[in-house]
Amino acid sequence: MQKLDKAKALYLTFASLLVVGVIVWNLGVRGGHVEPVASDACVACHLDAQIITGLYIPPETAGGGGG
């Protein structure tokens, strides 16, 4: 009986370590996480066509190149 309890405890310890290990590994693979950041001041201008038109003077551009 005592032998069985010991085996159970050992099994539980390994199982818990495995679960913790998988969680840590996953965090490493997935990297960080992008958190929302308040940006209402940016939005106030970039949603307004009139403001954007007034603030931006287009330069001369070229395009449509190669391959």
Binding site for another protein (CB under 8 A): 29-47, 49, 52-56, 58, 61, 63-67
**Distance between CA atoms of 44 and 38, rounded to whole angstroms?**
12
**Distance between CA atoms of 56 and 53, rounded to whole angstroms?**
6
**Residue 62 DSSP SS3:** coil
Q: Would you say 10 or 51 has its CB closer to another protein?
A: 51
Is 7 within 8 Å of 15 (Cβ atoms)?
A: no
Q: Would you say 8 or 46 has its CB closer to another protein?
A: 46
The least distance separating another protein from the CB of residue 46, rounded to whole angstroms, comes to 4
The least distance separating another protein from the CB of residue 39, rounded to whole angstroms, comes to 4
